[in-house]
Homo-oligomer: A and B are copies of this chain.
Amino acid sequence: MSIKPVIAIHGGAGTIVRQAMSTEAETRYHAALNEILSAGQNVLADGGSALDAVTEAVRLLEDCPLFNAGHGAVFTAAGTHELDASVMDGATLEAGSVCCVTRVKNPVLAARRVLDASEHVMFTAAGAEAFAQSQGLEFVDPSYFHTDARYQQWLNARGTSGTMLDHDAMTKFAFDNDPIDPRKKLGTVGAVALDAHGHLAAATSTGGITNKQAGRVGDAPLIGAGCYANDATCAVSTTGTGEMFIRMLAAYDVSAQMEYRCVSLEEASNDVVMNKLPRIEGRGGLIAVDAKGNVVLPFNTEGMYRGYARVGDTPVTAIYR
């Protein structure tokens, strides 16, 4: 039986803002998801690896200002941008990750270079930037990551004691361009894929959470928390309240349940998202694919930007439940 390659992506999860469900805004998100899925599909259709497909999809998600990663990333409490990304190859269990970079245009490309060119798995802060520079990656002025929409969110959040996530009582905010409440959006982007050779891969990238303390690291750059891939089980990319995903090893737990409990991708993913994470008030979701090409996209919030595309088929995209 020949394998039908498939890619799935997500662009963050969160609470739906009912009053903001304008057709126009929704259309914008669907179009972006479709375009990026098509690009990933093309990589796979050309016989490209799952690793290349997820890297390319996350690169495009980083470049798209609608999503909280790369250009369009949220602001920290210091008014800066700190970016994290990771990638894992299910064929070799090799992985690469960077956290807290501020001038690398595409953090996922830096993570990929760590995987390809370094004996290490993870680099942080100035050391991560030095590594990226030594690899000839594109650098940008930090202002490149600025978008007016995120800046407005940050200005609103600054008046509060905590991060956006924890502030439900905010009254003044323009939701016009974001169907999922940006105050409660758990912003990450990610991709998982199965290629024609039967290999799996996953990649995840984020700008963190609005108004976060400098130096906070969430699940996105952590192998096993926000990103995991193993040809023997599955590839997973998560999005949500990062701290709970770290404590639950959310991405790896899906794989561990498949390997040790011998349950399906669907059963393992649902247990993590619907049972284990809620036990510690973990909110969000994940996307995952197994070696048979099964795709799941469970989330326990009201919405998650998501989609998947099998080679030869029309991409499927969705925002709400």
Cα distance, A215 to B166, chains bound together (Å): 31
Q: A124-B100, A217-B124, A252-B224 are in contact. Are A119 and B247 (CB under 8 A)?
A: no
- When distances are taken between beta carbons in the complex, the residues of chain B under 8 Å from A125 are 100, 124-126, 215
The 8 Å CB contact of A162, one of B119, B121, B212, is B119
- Partner of A243 from the list B120, B217, B247 (CB cut-off 8 Å) is B120
What's the least CB distance linking A267 to chain B, in Å?
12
* Interface-lining segment among A143-151, A152-160, A253-261: A253-261
Q: Do A126 and B214 touch (CB < 8 A)?
A: yes
Q: Contacting A215 at CB < 8 Å: which of B124, B216, B222, B246? A: B124
A216 CB contact (under 8 Å) in B120, B242, B253, B260: B120
Tell me, yes or no, whether A95 is within 8 Å of chain B by CB: yes
What separation, in Å, do the CA atoms of A121 and B219 have in the docked complex? 9
Binary interface encoding of chain A residues 111-130 relative to chain B, with 1 for a CB under 8 A from any of its CBs, else 0: 00000001111111111101
A121, B246: Cβ atoms under 8 Å?
yes
**Contact of A216 with B246 at beta-carbon distance under 8 Å, contacts A253-B256, A257-B260 already known:** no
Across the interface, name the chain B residue whose C-beta is closest to A120: B216
B223:A130 contact, CB within 8 angstroms:
no
CB pair B247 A121 closer than 8 Å: yes
> Which chain B positions have C-beta within 8 A of A212?
120
Q: A126-B215, A256-B253 are in contact. Are A243 and B100 (CB under 8 A)?
A: no
Does A320 lie at the interface of the complex (its beta carbon under 8 Å from any beta carbon of B)? Answer: no
Q: Are A246 and B126 in contact (CB under 8 A)?
A: no
Q: Mark A177-220, 1 if CB is under 8 A from B, else 0.
A: 00000000000000000000000000000000000111111100
Q: Is the C-beta of A302 less than 8 angstroms from some C-beta in chain B?
A: no
List of B residues within 8 angstroms of A94 by Cβ = 247
Contacts of A216 in B (CB 8 A): 120, 122-123, 127
**A280, CB-defined interface residue at 8 Å:** yes
CB A241 to nearest CB in B, in angstroms, measures: 10
